[in-house]
Structure 1
Amino acid sequence: MFYAPGPHVWAIDSTNRVPTGFHHVNNVYADTAYYFVTVGAAAGRRVPTAATPAGSPSSTITTFTDRRFYEHDLTNILRSGRRWLGERFASGTAQDFNFSSDGQPALTDLVPGSPVRLRVAVAASSLGSSYFQASLNGAPLPGILPVAEILTLPFTAVANTYTGNLTTTLASAAEPRVTLSYTSTAANATTAGYLDYLELLVQRQLRLSAASLEFRSLDALRGAGTVGQYTLSNATGAQVWEVTNPRRPRAQALAGGSFVAYTDSVREYVAFQPSGSFPTPRLFSKVANQNLHALNLGGDLDLVIVTYPAFRRQAERLAQHRRDYNGMKVEVVTTKQVFNEYASGAQDVT
């Protein structure tokens, strides 16, 4: 079994260093995560079992905070830069969105009566005031999402943006469906609104109703040294790994669907059935061994030329020129080598 996070990640929101929620970080450079696998005679790294925490559990955890986002980069209204927007709205129209698309599993085992947090990021290009309104499963959410009008100045703004946080209580266990409507007071036919992204934080039961389940708990945080007991239902034959550091997963000692863990910080877990059905990774290519980190161990390297692979021959000519006529020590590396060394193969070194 191999645990592999995707290219888009979640970061923790906090107030005075106390975790309060999450926000997603969309990778604008890559939509695929790459991993290198070495096959050899030596045994690879194994997943160790985490040590059982000292002390008795002070809480029992049977629910968790699930997090979903919806973001489609469809339109670049500036026709420049990295800022892309999603679905377009004409004034007086509405659209529905759910969080089980784009390969995300269905939102099941929801907890009616629990809090729901929805973050909505929108934009509008309008010469008049405009706003969005949101509803959850047909029930209007309080407040509006106002977007300021663009200015008719020599350097006219193309659009303005607004991000709002909406909260409500989950009325039922039905899968969340968000409806957004857009209204503008401008008479201009070119007026348009756009969805940037949606983020949803919702409570779910700790129940393994699919082949795998990723979970964490904000509500269970109790401070340094505290311990809690996670109780997972429908977990016969399952395994649980802590994947807070995805490069160093640790198996949890699961007994009767429960395990004990520290509740001093937000910890990420994944539960899974080893016999379940999982996505199959795609093999891209073989990768030659390299070690760019060791290019300048002696501290005598004068120049590194980074080139697109198709231009390597020309880069090598330039490198040889510098060696012959300037006495410089020069190395040539390709962008592909840089991506492999510093971004696990993705075209993103951030």
Structure 2
Amino acid sequence: MKTAKKLGLAVAVATTMGMSSAMAAEVNIGFSGPLSGGAALYGENVLSGLRMAADEINEAGGFDLNGEKTTINIIALDDQYSPAQAATNAKRLKQESNVPAIFIPHSGGIFALMDFNVEDDFIVMAYTSVPTITEQGNPLTIRIPPTFDGYVKAFTDYALENWGTKLAMGGATHEYAKIWASMVEKAWTAKGGEIVAQNPMDYNKSADFFTGVSRLISENPDVMFVGGASEPTGLVMQQARQLGYEGAFIMMDQAKIDEAANVVGGYELLEDTVGVVPLTVYETEAAQSFIERYEEIYGKTPGSEAAFNYGALHGLVAAMDKTESTDPETIRAALGDAIANLEDSKNPYVVEGVDEKGGFITAPTMAVVKDGKIVEEEF
């Protein structure tokens, strides 16, 4: 019973499609993220991109490792958005499965893993836009999406110029959202804006946000800052409209406009929302090819979580294939060139490589909901 209880949060996902009897070797790749609770959909979206890439790699015959064809096995553990559980999961993934890399999609967990990943010898594949992740000089950490500091300036500038000066802060309570909120407050007040209300909410544990939202709109804000995972963010916005809020929204980049629209039943309730450009709006061949293939597999439209992590795993495996090594330092050194030389179909966001600090090189974007449609704005 003790063992069963200890393993209660574990969700093992073995990606073995396309394996043949000749393929005896495999490399384990770790994942720790929220697979239950309010952010479960967010975690599953990240994991779906990893699964899709692993299946494609295995179905194509795997990759070369010391002259032997090798497949990828994704081992996924649920951490319920807890940094402490993420650290426990990482220790287990390294000790039991000898993973050279662990994908993790929340900043609290990423910071927790960065305390020991160099000593324990694994790469942290960090799906977060927190700028400080790659400012700490950790040689085995890779930041997958672009940093959000550019988003903060662009979003707040647009909102101040178009919607008004009074801002209510209603973001989530996890570490990533707190950092975002702090930077939004600084940017907003530096431009002469006023913070009229603050009531961060636990997006991971609640679905009823009426009390918190009512406190925000009681101060008659022009703009409301919201954001966490897309599903609860959509609920916060929906409940704000139901309570009579007619103002605008600044949406943190973790949430996606199109996914929030699915929650509220369309874009009408999201009018005057500024956020990142959803993957579905990208017209590049690489993005459209990925969307089509993803929809065939999962029966739904992918978001950036799936697309970025899909490309990141393809890049990670390309680096192992090129070096014929699973040594984390060797993989990390080869990753930039491997990403830059990926086939377009494996690189939906056209990541150009890895910068000197360990961040993927890709362009940030901005979109606004106008007249019930997503419109890309100049960044």
| TM-score grouping bracket, smaller chain normalisation | under 0.3
Greater relative contact order (Cα < 8 A, sep 6+): 1
* Bigger strand fraction: 1
* Bigger helix fraction: 2
| Bigger Rg, which one | 1
TM-score, normalised to structure 2, is 0.24
